[in-house]
A and B are shown apart, each in its own frame.
Chain A
Amino acid sequence: ILNVEQSPQSLHVQEGDSTNFTCSFPSSNFYALHWYRWETAKSPEALFVMTLNGDEKKKGRISATLNTKEGYSYLYIKGSQPEDSATYLCAPSSNTGKLIFGQGTTLQVKP
């Protein structure tokens, strides 16, 4: 799996705004799609792992969808809060288990 692209590269929103990011990846040799949140000076935190086309997962105000046929995933944040400020990473994996990371989307939520 090569060429994992995330957009936008960075995003500034106001508290209360809803937002979404995109992760694009080659659909061949796909096994799973991982989303992580990485706050400065902390460990990357696993948000979701999705494997099936059409999968939707939700964790509080954050949700994600997966389209394996066209090779993309969306991450949505509803009603952004300052504590949501972080870099969001996506990483598809093949059946070897290796993760290939995108460059991430850095979100800043202004109070």
Chain B
Amino acid sequence: SAVISQKPSRDICQRGTSLTIQCQVDSQVTMMFWYRQQPGQSLTLIATANQGSEATYESGFVIDKFPISRPNLTFSTLTVSNMSPEDSSIYLCSVDRGRETQYFGPGTRLLVL
């Protein structure tokens, strides 16, 4: 298993601002993932973050809107830029341990006014 923490756990932000979400893992992992769940929707993969390379974004998500950093094997950040109310979601990071399963953080609950 893996122990994953996220900061902040929740936030309320004004439209047009940006928020950076941190994800910390208790051990080194190769792959980290960022997901979001909009109200009433499925958990959706935003991007895959590998240490030492640029993140790989899924269709519908772009780096300018969701820049990701992966400075080492235990840490990653996701920034939600120029926020609008449509960005109100739960954002989760997860890690992959050999594709047997993914382990998730507790999530960041974001409300954009």
Contacts and interface: CB of A to CB of B under 8 A. Distances in A.
Interface of A: 4, 31-32, 34, 36, 41-44, 46, 49, 89, 91, 93, 97-104
Nearest to A34: B101
B68 to A, nearest CB: 16
Contact of A43 (B31, B43, B107): B107
Interface residues of B, number: 20
Nearest to B58: A98
B101 A102 contact: no
A44 B42 contact: no
A91 B42 CA distance: 10
B91 interface: no
Contact of B43 (A31, A46, A93, A101): A101
Contacts of A4: 42
A46 B101 contact: yes
A104 B42 contact: yes
A89 B43 contact: yes
Contacts of A104: 42
A104 B42 CA distance: 7
Given A101-B43, A101-B44, A43 B101 contact: no
Interface in B53-107: 92, 96, 99-107
Given A34-B101, A97-B96, A41 B106 contact: yes
Contacts of B110: none
A98 B100 contact: no
B21 interface: no
A32 B98 CA distance: 13
A73 to B, nearest CB: 15
